[in-house]
Amino acid sequence: MVSISHYLMLSAILFSLGVAGVLIRRNAIIVLMCVELMLNAVNLSFVALARKWGELDGHVVVFFVMAVAAAEAAVGLALVIALFRHKATINLEEANLLKG
Amino acid sequence: MVQELLFYIFATLTVISGVSVISARNSITSALSLIATLGAVAALFALLDAHFIATIQILVYAGAIMVLFVFVIMLLNLEPEAVQGLRLTPGKALAAGVAAAGTVLLLWKFVGVKGAFPAIGEDYGTMEAVAEALFIQYLIPFEAVSLLLTAAVVGAVVIGKREL
């Protein structure tokens, strides 16, 4: 029988994939997509735990997370476009203007 | 039994497409893999009786957000040499090691978690039930989120403008 533990483990794997992607990749768009991956992993554990307790508060939080993810994607992609316009690249290693 | 089978199918699909998101050389491949991941997670939401959340996962995430990503990838039209593949350097290997260690730690924490899913009422996870919680108990956070979205839209337009 599938229990809460299965969903939490899947969520952990998915979250770690997102972390690995953010740390390894240098393409700004892929890094943003990995952030979405992490948000989805957390959403999965929220929904699984909401199901476990038979409450709906977890669903409401997931709804808010999705709204924040949409806002983050919009602003993040606008930043990527601004970066591309200035540097003609979206490689994050070349975005080092503020580096001391 | 069917639930178990479906869980394993969609969990495998989620992990495979998740790996593909972070390992694809081309960002459009990555975006399409992410859409597959989001679809599989939506199926898992449906398995957890979160029907409304599963629906908006498809509509908002796979629909709106991913279209935005694909749009930007197409818009930038990166040259082949600007497409970054996976090149393993010591720093990246260390980062991958840290992520792997985090996974092992989390899995070790979660592996023994007890708790079968309890029986739930007919209306659990339906749009009606979620809306009731959203618009009565969580009305103020909901309004705050709408303010946030407005601010984000204005901010995105300002940042994306050609001349500031």
DSSP letter string over B64-133?
A: IIHHHHHHHHHHH---GGGS------HHHHHHHHHHHHHHHHHHHHHTT---PPPP--TTTT-HHHHHHI
What predicted TM-score, i.e. pTM, was given to this entire model? 0.89
Report chain A residues whose CB lies below 8 A from the CB of B103: 12-13, 16
Residue B54 corresponds to which amino acid?
A: A
Mean pLDDT value across chain A: 89
- Say what the pLDDT of residue A89 is: 81
- Say what the pLDDT of residue B105 is: 84
Instruction: Kindly give the confidence (pLDDT) of every residue in chain B, 164 residues in length, as a single tens digit, with 9 standing for 90 and above.
Output: 888 899 999 999 999 999 999 988 888 899 999 999 999 999 999 999 999 999 999 999 888 999 999 999 998 877 655 555 556 678 778 888 888 888 888 888 877 777 778 888 778 888 889 999 999 999 999 999 999 999 999 999 998 887 66
Say if CB A92 and CB A28 are below 8 A apart: yes
Separation CA A40–CA A64 (nearest Å)? 12
Q: Averaged over A53-82, what is the pLDDT? A: 92
- Say what the pLDDT of residue B19 is: 94
For residue B60, with 0-12 CB atoms within 10 Å meaning exposed, 13-18 middle and 19 or more buried, which class applies? middle
Residue B82 neighbours by CB distance under 10 Å: 15
- Say what the pLDDT of residue B35 is: 95
Separation CA A43–CA A64 (nearest Å)? 10
Out of B27, B86, B107, name the one closest to residue A12 (CB): B107
Residue of A nearest to B27 (CA): A30
Say yes or no: B12 contacts chain A, CB-CB below 8 A: no
Which ipTM was obtained for this model? 0.91
- Three-state SS for A27? strand
C-alpha gyration radius of chain A = 17
- Three-state SS for A41? helix
Q: Averaged over A16-24, what is the pLDDT? A: 90
- Say what the pLDDT of residue A75 is: 94
- Say what the pLDDT of residue B81 is: 52
Q: Which of residues 34-53 of A touch B (CB under 8 A)?
A: 34, 36-37, 40, 43-44, 47-48, 50-52
Say if CB B102 and CB A16 are below 8 A apart: yes
Separation CA A78–CA A84 (nearest Å)? 10
In this complex, do B61 and A12 lie within 8 Å of one another by their Cβ atoms? no
